[in-house]
Amino acid sequence: MRRPRIAIIGGGFSGAVTAANLLKRGRQAPDVALIERARKIARGVAYSTKDAGHLLNVRASNMSALADQPDHFARWLAKRGRRDAGAMFAPRALYGAYAEHVLRSASSGFGGPSLTRVRDAAVACRREGEAWSITLSSGRAIEADSVVLALGNPPARPLPVFDQAGISLVNPWDPNALARIGAGDVLLLGAGLTMIDAALSLARRRKRGVIYVLSRRGQAPRAHLDSPDLAPPSAPLDLPIQLSEALHAFRAEVKAMKARGEPWQHAMYRLRGRTPELWRRLPLEAQQRFLRHLRVWWDVHRHRTAPEISAQFKALRDEGRVKILAGEIVSAQPGPRGVRLQHRGRGSLVRHNMDVAAVVNCTGPSADPTQSSDPLIVQMLAEGVLRPNPNRLGFDMDPDARLIAADGTIHQSLLAIGPITQGAFWESTAVPEIRVRAASVAAMLAPEQ
């Protein structure tokens, strides 16, 4: 009896940890084809960095790649001589090496299921009879019984004001591009975690010039607690169904926690386990209101920085080397020293001129698949294999991450994991959520018999 074959499109962290879980399914384990165009697997964008100053934004104690071994990463660090391994915010590059280790360890058994690394890009995926056929950019086709889309974060959304002026924006994850920026001030568009990494990298290279940060609200990520010894309460935080009532109840609970001497970060811990359930029960209109008005506040409190990173960033702000602005760009054109901009402050009609050497696009991924230029996504949407989530965050799927076709059919053998599931679960981009989803996907595709 032949082993079933499962193709995973995307070999970043989500795809690699899904592959590892499938390969560990014992007698039910399938053969796995892991399709990834990049040279290295398991790392994705975040864990491919070579900058030792880029740290994880979660302590090692909660960064295991395996749901059934929550201390796996901490033990891996301890074996390599890292003191206080569980409490540390490890370098992202080191975590990339760990993710590779997890995949290699799962696929090292002799005579068991095979892992085939396919270094290519998938450009089409179609149902053919009882199987799936995946077309690669090389023209080769791969057949599989089931497919998992682990596409990772899409590129940042285009910004028309710069495109129309013919101005190229710098990729914050390209160290060579950052190093090529000439003398003068620099503008970072977007104020999330990517901005923090880019600002620190630039500050280490550049001793002069101001690093400006511009976002609609001018809010930067908050910090994790300094001490890991303050264990968060185990009681989950329940909230009403109505969004406005839920916000009122959450604020009231945070106020009560403060009165008890508990840090606000614990409220986020208590909410985290309930988030997918709370998100899914919100009607579409409420999800859209959340995205318009509350998302920025969620992001800066939920996606926090390591204490040492927060301290470094604060020092740069105190020294005047980093300045955060709230507002928007209203015009851009090539200037004598790089780019000449006009920006307008939030709530103001006054325009301010700014000359910068370069603009770095830290606005984050464009999650709307209908705006994607990826050939695979374009094909699957055009042919009705998939449909976008109504909230335009990734694709539509059922509660088990089975993707839904344009006609409403739920694919039993086409699943998704990682950022493209955000519209369905909201919490879908962090390791603690991905590892649980990866184990669930593996159990569905290779059930015990």
27 domain residue, yes or no: yes
Interval 287-297: pLDDT, tens: 999 999 999 99
H or E segment to which residue 414 belongs: strand 410-416
Residues spanned by the domain of 401: 5-155+366-445
Q: Is the pLDDT at 424 greater than 80, yes or no?
A: yes
pLDDT at position 2, please?
79
229 domain residue, yes or no: no
Q: Is the pLDDT at 232 greater than 70, yes or no?
A: no
Q: Is the pLDDT at 279 greater than 90, yes or no?
A: yes
CATH number at residue 356: 3.50.50.60
Tell whether 34 and 108 lie within a shared domain: yes
- Confidence bin at 448 (pLDDT 50/70/90): confident
Q: pTM of the entire structure? A: 0.94
Tokens of 298: 């969620």
Tell whether 298 and 207 lie within a shared domain: no
Tokens of 292: 């318009």
Tell whether 373 and 276 lie within a shared domain: no
pLDDT at position 157, please?
83
72 domain residue, yes or no: yes
Tell whether 338 and 385 lie within a shared domain: no
Q: Is the pLDDT at 278 greater than 80, yes or no?
A: yes
15 domain residue, yes or no: yes
Distance between CA 123 and CA 424 in Å, rounded?
24
CB 210, CB 183: distance < 8 Å: no
Tell whether 73 and 126 lie within a shared domain: yes
Q: How far is CA 104 from CA 17, 86, 314, 428, 431, in A?
A: 11, 23, 39, 24, 18
- By the 10 Å C-beta count (0-12 exposed, 13-18 middle, 19+ buried), 26 is classed as exposed
